[in-house]
Amino acid sequence: MNLDFSFLTLKVINNIILTGLIFSFKITLIAMVLGIILGTFIAMMRLSKFKILSSFALAYVTIIRSIPLVMVILWVFLLIPLFIGRSLGTEYSAIITFTLFEAAFYAEIMRAGIQSVKRDQANAGYALGMNYFQCMSYIVLPQAFRNMLPVLLTQTIVLFQDTSLVYAIGAFDLLKGFSIISKNFNRPVEAYILATIVYFIICFSLSYLVKRIQNRVRICKYS
């Protein structure tokens, strides 16, 4: 088998590969921020003493995590326009999908982080006159976020990988870019070899960065 990568010119890289990569990064960053915010609220609902809130949060997490992501992408892209009377477009559909989907995973991570903070610290906040939200905002959540930061970032790497599924709705992401190269130059093997290499380099680099961050934020525990 003779491999030919002569099609990989600066024009192809700039107009196709970088365009798709920017879209994938954009979706990843927006969905990460919104997903962590929504996931934190869901985690707090799961830990709430109010049964209706904890039950809703548990049902949301269970249902979302039990549905294939590609199905959620298609539902948001096809069903929401039926209710609002106009198309969301691939970008907004992707942002909504990944925010809602990843929030279920971020919620479980944040719940574990919140529970890792000793109850005595929350009680100390209450003793100082703080209410529940002040205690969570100033004492519990900052520590929970720090404890779970490496896991949150690892989940974000998974999110970046999952953005390739927006190919199902025709979004111009990184994988779509390589698909276009495959069709335009009739080099599918070479195109998808390059796609694999690019995804590997990005994800490996991000994993290494997470490891470095984990070493920096690690809190020494004394017995």
Average pLDDT per 10 consecutive residues for the chain, totaling 223 residues = 83 91 96 95 90 94 94 92 88 95 95 85 81 82 85 94 92 93 90 94 94 74 42
Characterise 85 by phi-psi region: left (phi > 0), alpha (psi -120 to 50), beta (else).
left
Residue 222's pLDDT is what?
A: 39
Residue 83's pLDDT is what?
A: 87
Predicted model pTM: 0.88
Residue 223's pLDDT is what?
A: 40
Residues with Cβ within 8 Å of residue 218, at least 6 apart in sequence: none
120 touches 59 (CB < 8 A): no
Please give the DSSP secondary-structure letter assigned to residue 164: G
Residue 132's pLDDT is what?
A: 76
Q: What's the CATH fold of domain 10-217? A: MetI-like fold (1.10.3720)
Residues with Cβ within 8 Å of residue 192, at least 6 apart in sequence: 178, 182
